[in-house]
Amino acid sequence: MAVRIGVLALQGAFAEHERALAQCGAQVCEIRARRDLMGIQGLVLPGGESTVMGTLLQEDGLLIPLRDLCRGGMPVLATCAGMILLAADLPDFALQPRLGVLDISVRRNAFGRQQESFTTFLQVRTFCASAADRVEAVFIRAPLVERAGTGVEVLACLDGHSVAVLGGSMLALSFHPELTEDLRFHAWLVRRAAVWARAPRQSEK
């Protein structure tokens, strides 16, 4: 049976993630309310505006259930604003509502304004097959990781700044793979979610 992946669809670039996930063979479900979480085996936190998304998560009663799912080990792919939602530490916007489940310190809008958006090619550890292999990375008012905590692996850097990290089963990217044809990150999520779906949970043991 196809893996069921929930895509947070309150705001932002969720449709592009849905297309990529469908191409990877996943069954996609849009998350707008608590009841949409039923049966999902993986999660995408898309790009958009993290302040708006955080506020809506709180208002729609999704903040705590999503936090619990992340803490419970559900595989997550978070891009751009999604990375900000995961960050435990957000020094310049400490009060901004978010999940705060990944031990990283994040700086928002670290690469400048919308007009300064750019595309580059990055070597991403574990996702690139050879030293010459690169991932096309689109940066749009992107955040960067200023500090990665214990157990959080930095997978890619740009100008010495961390822009892709993996902590447990949470993969957080500063850039937008859903805006390219590169399906590696979505395929990773689908694979991880399939494994996670088969693993016995504490409550089922």
Q: Which stretch binds ligand GLN (CB under 6 A): 15-23, 48-56, 122-130, 155-163?
A: 48-56
Judged by CB under 6 A, does residue 50 bind ligand GLN?
yes
Are the CB atoms for 36 and 13 separated by under 8 Å? no
Q: Please give the Cα distance from 164 to 154 (Å, whole number).
A: 6
- Output 3 or 54, the one with its CB closest to ligand GLN: 54
Q: Is 192 helix (H, G, I), strand (E, B) or coil?
A: helix
- Output 26 or 90, the one with its CB closest to ligand GLN: 90
Within 10 angstroms of residue 156's Cβ, the number of other Cβ atoms is 22
- Output 42 or 48, the one with its CB closest to ligand GLN: 48
Are the CB atoms for 85 and 106 separated by under 8 Å? no
**Binding footprint of ligand GLN, residue count (CB under 6 A):** 11
Q: Please give the Cα distance from 28 to 20 (Å, whole number).
A: 10
Question: In the set 80, 104, 106, 152, which binds ligand GLN (CB under 6 A)?
Answer: 80
Judged by CB under 6 A, does residue 177 bind ligand GLN?
no
- Tokens at 13, concatenated: 């670039």
Instruction: Note the Cα 178 to chain centre separation in Å.
Output: 11
- Tokens at 132, concatenated: 């010459």
Question: In the set 36, 49, 89, 146, which binds ligand GLN (CB under 6 A)?
Answer: 49
- Output 74 or 78, the one with its CB closest to ligand GLN: 78
Judged by CB under 6 A, does residue 47 bind ligand GLN?
yes
Judged by CB under 6 A, does residue 146 bind ligand GLN?
no
**Helices within the chain (DSSP H only):** 14-23, 50-59, 63-71, 81-86, 184-198
Are the CB atoms for 59 and 34 separated by under 8 Å? no
Q: Which stretch binds ligand GLN (CB under 6 A): 18-26, 41-49, 98-106, 145-153?
A: 41-49
- Known catalytic residues? 80, 176, 178
Question: In the set 11, 105, 109, 180, which binds ligand GLN (CB under 6 A)?
Answer: 109
For binding to ligand GLN (CB under 6 A), which residues are involved?
A: 47-50, 80-81, 84, 108-109, 140-141
